Amino acid sequence: MFNKFFASKWLVPAVIVTMATHLAHTGNAQTKAKAPKAATAAHTDGFDPKFNVEAQGFADLQVLRYQVPGFKGLSLQQKQLSYYLYQAALSGRDIIYDQKSKHGIMLRKTIEAVYGTYKGDKKSADWKHFEEYCGRVWFSSGNYHHYSNEKFIPGCSYDYFAKLVKGTDSKLLPLEKGETVDAFLNRIKPVVYDKSFEPTCVDLRPNIDNVTNSANNFYEGVTQKEVEAFYDKFDTKGNAPSWGLNSKVVKENGVLVEKTWKSGGMYGAAIDKIAYWLAKAADVAEDVEQKEALKLLVQFYTTGDLKAWDDYNIAWVKNTSSRIDAVNGFIEVYLDAIGKKASYESTVSLKDLEETKRIEAIAKQAQWFEDNSPIAKEHKKATVKGITAKAITVIVESGDAAPSTPIGINLPNAEWIRKEHGSKSVSLSNIIHSYNVAGAKSGMVDEFGTNDMVKARLKKYGALASDLHTDMHECIGHASGQLNPGVETTDKTLKNYASCLEEARADLVGLYYVADKKLIEIGVMDNMDVAKAAYDNYMMNGLMTQLTRLKPGEQLQEAHMRNRALIAHWAFEKGKADKVVEFVKRNGKTYVQVNDYEKLRVLFGQLLKEIQRIKSEGDYNAGKDLVENYGVKVDPVLHKEILERFEKLHIRPYRGFIQPKLVPVMKGEEIADVKVEYPDNFFKQMMEYGKNYAFLPVKN
C-alpha cells in the first residue's frame, strides 16, 4: 500500500465490473509458453462448484465466503503451523478496534452484550435496525465506514437503543467501576448517535490539522504540527527504521512521548497472545529460514524495537521455499492521515501452485520492465533485486485485512529493504475466485458497458485482464523506481497524499504494461484484446462506476478510489482534444468510451513518469495538485445518474468475508490433524470472536 514497513501495499477490489464480471506459465523471451486459461476457469481448479459463496447482506455490505483448496493435502506439520499462525492472527483482533477509535472496544463490547443477552422482541423493525448496526460495526471494526471512514449511526432511535442496553445483562456491559447503566448511556450516547462527535476516522482534507480532525487512536492531545516536529528529529534517509510505525503519540507533562505497542506496553495483553502463538509456529516451521523469521517477529513484538522489525522483514523476504506463509504485524498506514502509524493486520496462506505460474512469469521479467519503463532514467533501479511472486490461497485474515480484504499484496513497505533485499508479491487467488463467482450475475457489464463489442470483450477477457493488472501492480509496480539520494520517506515528503500517489504509481505500471506485447511473449496472455478489456474497465470504473460507493454529496476520500479517479480523469482531460476517451450519451444514459487505446497507453506512461518524479524528488506541492485536481471531486449530476442505474441492479457495493475456521483434532495433548470448517453466519462468527479473542481492556 504505501511506503512503510513490512506492509502490504494492498490492491483492493474496486466496484468491479469485470473479472468474470468481478469488477476487481512459465516462459521466457526465447520460448513462448502456452497462455494460461482465463482466470474464470483457472480459479475453479480444486474448488467445490456447489459451495455457496454468499452469506448475509445488510446495509451496503455483502458478506461472502471463501474456500481453502489444498489444505487437506498439507502435511501434519504444515497444518499445525497453519493453526498456530491462525491463532496468532486472530489474537490481535482487538487492536484494530482500538486503533480506529479509543471508544472502539467499548462500543463493540456494548453491542455484543446486547446482541447476546437481550431477551425482548427481536422481530421488530427497530431490532432489525439495531442488528444491521451490529453488522456494520463488526464489518468496519468500529463505527466508521470501512471505506469512506465517515461515522455511521444506528437506524433505530436513541430511546430504543437505551431500552436495549437497560434490558441487557449489565455484568457484560463495559461499565466503569461504580458506574450506573444510566451514567454509561450518557457516556456512550455521543459515541453512537452524535455524528458531529469525532465524525471521521481519517480526515485527508487539505489545509486543516489532519491529526486533530481524525478520530483514530494514533494521537491524543497533540497537533499535526507538533507530531511532524517530533518526527523531524528522526532521520528517515537511507536504511533508517520506519520511525513511529508502532506507537501512539501523546503529551505528558507538556512533552510528546510515544506509547509503544509491545509486550508490557500498549496493547501488551493481545501482543503477548500473538507472540505466544508465533513462538509455537516457529517450533514447527517448515525450514530454518522461516523459523528465524518467526523468531525475529516474536522479538519485535516483545521489544517493540523497529530494528528488529527491519531484521524480521529482511528474513521474511528471504524465506521463499515455505508453502505456508503469513503476514502479521503493524503494516499499512492508510488509517493515519499523515502516514506514520500502521494498523494491525494478518493474513495466513498457502501457496497456490498452479496460479503462481502466471505471476512468476511476470516477476522473472522485473528487470526488463524496469529498464523499459517510461520513467526517467535517474528514477529507475539499476538492479531489481529479489522479487518473489506467487498466488496464495488464504486460510484466514484478521485486523485491517478483514472482513474487507485486498486482492493483492506487496511487501515489505520499506523502500530500502525492497531495493537491497527484494520483496514478495502475492495475488489472493481464492479470494478472487469468490469475487468472481459472486459477481458473475451482477449485471454491471451490461448496464455500464458502452457497446456490445466492449461488453463481449469484458465478459471474455475481463477476469484475466484484472488478474494481470493485479499481478503487475503488486510485483512490478510497487517494486519499481527509487527515491533520489538524500530524499526522505514519503510520510515526510508527500504526507497525507503519499498512499494515494503510491497506489496510483503502481496502478499505472500495471496499466502501461498490460498493453505490452511482452505479456504475449512470456505466455501470460494470448492477444491484445485483454489489454483493451483492462483499459475499458479501468476508465469506466475510475470515471463512473466506483462512484456507486459514495452517497450523494460526498467527495472521494479513500486512497484507492482517489488514485483510480486521478488516473482516469487526468487521462480523460489530457486526451480530450484527440477524443482518446469520451463520455457518450445513449437513451439518456452516460457511457465511457475509449476511442484510441494506443494513445491512452501513452498517456498512462506520461502520468507514470510524473508521479514517479514526484515520489523520487519528494515534490509535495505537485503531488497535492494532482490529487486535489483529479482525485477528489465528484460531478453531482453524473453521480446521481450512476446511483439510480446501480440501484436497479440490486447489488451491494461493498463485499467482505466470513473467515474459515481451523479446528484441531487432538490426540491427547498433541494435534493429530486440523480440519477446515466454513461458517455461514457472519453475526455468529463475530460473537464467537468477541468471546474467544477479547484480550484488551476497554481503555488502552
Strand order through the sheet with 387-399 = 324-330, 344-351, 387-399, 423-428, 408-411
CA dist 275 and 88 (Å) reads 7
User: Does 609 fall in a domain?
Assistant: yes
Residues comprising the chain, all counted: 700
Examine residue 492 and state whether it is found in any structural domain, yes or no.
yes
Same domain, 426 and 541: yes
Q: What share of the chain is helix, strand, coil (3-state, %, to 5)?
A: 45, 15, 40
Task: Provide the greatest CA pair distance for the chain.
Answer: 77
> What are all long-range contacts of 248-257, with beta carbons under 8 Å and residues at least 24 apart?
248/217, 248/218, 248/219, 248/220, 248/341, 249/218, 249/219, 249/220, 249/222, 250/219, 250/220, 250/221, 250/222, 251/220, 251/221, 251/222, 251/226, 256/222, 256/226, 256/227, 256/230
Residues 472, 349 within the same domain: yes
**Using an 8 Å Cβ cutoff, are 460 and 453 in contact?**
no
Q: Which residues pair with 655 in a beta bridge?
A: 62
Residues 165-221: tens digit of each pLDDT: 999 999 999 999 999 999 999 999 999 999 999 999 999 999 999 999 999 999 999
Any domain includes 209? no
Check whether residue 148 and residue 292 sit in a common domain. no
Q: Which helix (H) or strand (E) holds 241?
A: none
CA pair distance 454, 447, nearest whole angstrom:
12
Report DSSP state, residue 684.
H
Cα 582 → chain centroid: 31
Q: Are 575 and 596 in contact (CB under 8 A)?
A: yes
Q: Are residues 62 and 102 in the same domain?
A: no
- Range of the structural domain that residue 139 is part of: 94-194+660-692
Tell me how far CA of residue 200 lies from CA of 101, 270, 558, in angstroms: 10, 26, 12
Measured CA to CA in angstroms, residue 677 lies from 396, 424, 662 at distances of 12, 29, 6
Q: How confident is the model at residue 11 (pLDDT cuts 50, 70, 90)?
A: low
Share of the chain above pLDDT 70, in %: 93
Residue whose cell numbers read 530500502:
416
CA distances from 187 to 153, 170, 290, 412, 507 (A): 16, 15, 47, 41, 44
Cis amide prior to 412 (ω within 30 degrees): yes
Asked whether residue 133 falls in the same domain as residue 147, the answer is yes
Cell 466496484, located at residue: 15
In a domain, 125, yes or no: yes
pLDDT for position 69? 97
pLDDT one-digit tens code per residue, 459-493: 999 989 988 998 899 889 988 999 999 999 898 99
**From the CB of residue 664, how many other CB atoms can be counted at a distance below 10 Å?**
17
* Total domains, the chain: 2
Residue 438's φ and ψ, nearest 5 degrees, are -65, -30
698 found inside a domain: no
310 Cβ contact partners less than 8 Å away, ≥ 6 residues apart: 5, 239, 241, 414, 417
CA atoms within 13 A on the CB side of 83: 24
CA nearest neighbour of 22 among 13, 10, 35, 31: 13
Q: Can you tell me the distance from the alpha carbon of 224 to that of 277, in angstroms, rounded to the nearest whole number?
A: 37
State how beta strands 423-428 and 408-411 pair: antiparallel
For residue 12, what pLDDT is reported?
A: 52
Q: How far is it, in rounded angstroms, from Cα 438 to Cα 380?
A: 40
pLDDT at 19 over 80: no
Q: Please check whether residues 292 and 321 belong to one and the same domain.
A: yes
pLDDT over 70 at 34, yes or no: no
Q: pLDDT band at residue 609, thresholds of 50, 70 and 90? A: very high
Q: Identify which of 501, 503, 488 has the alpha carbon closest to the alpha carbon of residue 623.
A: 501
pLDDT per position as a tens digit, 423-435: 998 999 999 999 9
The DSSP H or E segment spanning 548 is none
Task: Say yes or no: 311 and 452 in one domain.
Answer: yes
Q: Under a CB-based contact definition with an 8 Å cutoff, are residues 568 and 543 in contact?
A: yes
Characterize the bridge pairing of strands 661-667 and 654-657.
unpaired
- pLDDT tens for residues 510-530? 999 999 999 999 999 999 999
Residue 388 in any domain: the answer is yes
Q: HSE of 243 in the Cβ direction (CA atoms, 13 Å)?
A: 20
Q: What is the mean pLDDT of the chain?
A: 92
Section 619-631 average pLDDT: 97
Q: Residue 432 has which C-alpha cell?
A: 478472487
Residues 443 and 381 in one domain: yes
| Residue 466 near residue 22 (C-beta atoms within 8 A) | yes
506: cell is 503502481
Residue 73 has which C-alpha cell? 493435502
Q: What is the mean pLDDT of residues 563-592?
A: 97
In a domain, 9, yes or no: no
Q: Is residue 205 part of a domain?
A: no
Instruction: Let me know whether 345 and 466 are in one domain.
Output: yes
The residue among 591, 537, 652 whose CA lies nearest residue 21 is 537
Nearest by Cα to 306 from 256, 250, 386, 235: 235
- State the CB neighbour count (10 A cutoff) for residue 77: 12
pLDDT higher than threshold 80 for residue 441: no
**Strand ranges, E, within 361-456:** 387-399, 408-411, 423-428
- Pair 641, 674 in one domain: no
Confidence of residue 45 (pLDDT cuts 50, 70, 90): very low
Q: Are residue 72 and residue 170 in the same domain, yes or no?
A: no
* Helix residue ranges, H only, 194-267: 224-232
Alpha helices (H) along 544-651? 559-574, 597-617, 620-630, 636-647
Residues 426 and 301 in one domain: yes
For the segment 70-107, what is each residue's pLDDT rounded down to a tens digit? 999 999 999 999 999 999 999 999 999 999 999 999 99
